[in-house]
Chain A
Amino acid sequence: MIETMARLRGRLRIAILIVATADLAALDLPALITHLDVYLVAWPVVAGYLTLIGLLAVEGVLIVRGRSWGRWRWPALGLTLAVSVLVNALIPVIEVPGYANWPIDGVGWVAVVLLFDQHLGVLLGVLAAHFATNFVHLALGGELAPLVLINVGTDIVTIGAFQVTAGASTWMVRYAARTAARAAAAEAEVRATEAIATRVHEDRQRRTQELEAEVRPLLTGLADGSYDPADDQTRRDCAIAAARMRRLFAEGDDVDDRLLHEVKACVDIAERRGVLVDLATQGSWPGLPREVRRGLTEAPVRVLSTARNWARVTVLGTDSGVSVSVVADGGAAGTFPLADGAVTITTVEDEDRLWVKATWQS
């Protein structure tokens, strides 16, 4: 759709250039040549004509190169209006309604070319200014007889109608192209959302299947008595499976909490190793920068990774800051950085347990 609109715009631009060139070459050039003796001074009129031809030539080059006038549009437009004023001034007032006044249509076409793609209002303003020069000329020369005004007015209405229509068409194509682009963008967004939803769904389904593969033998084993509910290992397996199921069910909540998300990811890894993890959160915290999140999770996660059987992980948000804490069994080794930027680490050891807490002060 967008490509179609772009192609249409390009062709319309060429069409308008052809119309403008034909007008200047087939209508205005003969008028100019046959009235060279009429103008007060001839050579500036010829120069004005050549200027307009030159502008059309530049447009031709720009079309070939696939470029637009950009900010040069406005000086070029100024030049065009200057030609309008200059040539008008060099036409004797009695010739204003006549054939010698070739710029009355020629200038307008050049303006249509220059204002391609611009708001229609700009073109209307420029054309009005251009046509006004004729009336000003007539007024200054005292030639405001009704017949003269009707002649000039008729010229202006017929010429202007074509030019405004041409300008309007470029503007409408641009409008249609924008609408099409917006529609295409909306469609792409819908498609992307659908794709993401599908992937999330697939991922969830996959994990549900994995979980089922894990839960089913457990349940079967419990039912047929091959697993003993009193056995510690069985209990641990059940607890871990239950924790995973809970997390899977909770994933419908669309929470935008990266800190918790990262903590949960680490808990998940520990659970895969067979560690029973008790995760509790309380309070609230703002969105934290990545370095802070890293500082908050690193040391606790290291403790979590050494846990043998169980761990308690908490995330607590208070008025003064956020803390991530892990208590775990197992002889966790290694030293922890005492402070990493704004994050402070505290460690407590107690026989078989190690408790590491990272706190970020807001």
Chain B
Amino acid sequence: MAELITAVIVDDHPAIAAGVRAWCAAALPPVELIDAEGRIARAWTEPGASAQVVIFDLQLNGPPAFRELERLVDAGRQVIVYSGRSDRDTVLTCLDLGVFTYLTKAEGPDHLIPAIRAAAADLPYTSPSLGGVMSTDRRPSRPQLSEREMETLVAWFESDSKRLVAGKLGVSIKTVETYIDRVRIKYANTGRPARTKAALVERAIQDGLIAMEDLTG
């Protein structure tokens, strides 16, 4: 993708914003980053308003900003939550609200940069921490996962390496990616409807990643 991707970061820690800016600049091709300096309003006004991806720190000097997150998602923004929290309830709530993906701050540029690119292209991206959360989801409303999908998620969470997962399960890296992405699509198809979720599912069906009957069944 030759087109330059733009992202806006809403995080009240200047060090995080500066670090992410450095990662974006070092990426190939680079990602253009706008720093909202911890103010959500700047994601709604130019130049932040036209950024393709919003990198959102869930906790801006207070409790998780689910309301603001919901508003961004409802406006069709592709939001990557980049948070210090990794507890299951918070992650699953964000997922239900329709965020594009969830990364913990322990996850560095190896996950954030690919996540930004995937968000700009409506392709799923699941970090190991998100995989760990999905694999331990106990809610009755959770999507039905196959045994293979579950094994893949667990191994992805544990190893943080698709090659190791492939080696362990005796499949190709491509297959590992397919399993992980299918789970993400199944999650996009549950809970509160959101435009961002629909886009993810639509793209997955177009690409043949998942069939309609997998989602309805």
Contact = CB atoms under 8 A, between A and B. Distances in A.
Chain A contact residues: helix, strand, loop or mixed: strand
A317 B136 contact: yes
A316 B86 contact: no
A357 interface: yes
A248 B135 CA distance: 29
Contact of B136 (A312, A316, A355, A357): A316
Given A346-B168, A355-B164, A355-B168, A325 B159 contact: yes
B85 interface: no
B93 interface: no
A114 B154 CA distance: 72
A221 to B, nearest CB: 17
Nearest to B150: A318
A147 interface: no
Interface stretch (B37-45, B47-55, B126-134): B126-134
Interface in B152-186: 154, 157-161, 163-164, 167-168
Given A280-B106, A325-B158, A357-B158, A314 B164 contact: no
Given A348-B164, A355-B164, 20 more contacts: A280-B86, A280-B157, A282-B132, A282-B133, A282-B136, A283-B88, A283-B136, A312-B159, A314-B132, A314-B157, A316-B154, A316-B158, A318-B135, A318-B154, A325-B158, A325-B159, A348-B159, A348-B167, A350-B164, A355-B158
Contacts, number: 64
Interface string A307-343: 0000010101111000101010000000000000000
A278 interface: yes
Contact of A280 (B132, B164, B168): B132
A317 B154 CA distance: 10
A80 B159 CA distance: 82
A119 interface: no
Interface size range on A against B: 20 to 34
A353 interface: yes
B136 to A, nearest CB: 3
Interface in B93-134: 104, 106, 128-129, 132-133
B152 to A, nearest CB: 14
A350 B164 CA distance: 7
A118 to B, nearest CB: 57
Which of A282, A312, A318 counts the most chain B CB atoms within 10 A?
A282
B110 to A, nearest CB: 11
25 contacts: A280-B86, A280-B104, A280-B106, A280-B128, A280-B129, A280-B132, A280-B157, A282-B86, A282-B133, A283-B88, A283-B132, A284-B136, A312-B158, A314-B132, A316-B157, A323-B154, A325-B159, A327-B159, A327-B161, A348-B168, A350-B163, A350-B164, A350-B167, A355-B168, A357-B158
B106 A278 contact: yes
A327 B154 CA distance: 13
Contacts of A316: 132, 135-136, 154, 157-158
Nearest to B138: A319
Nearest to A313: B158
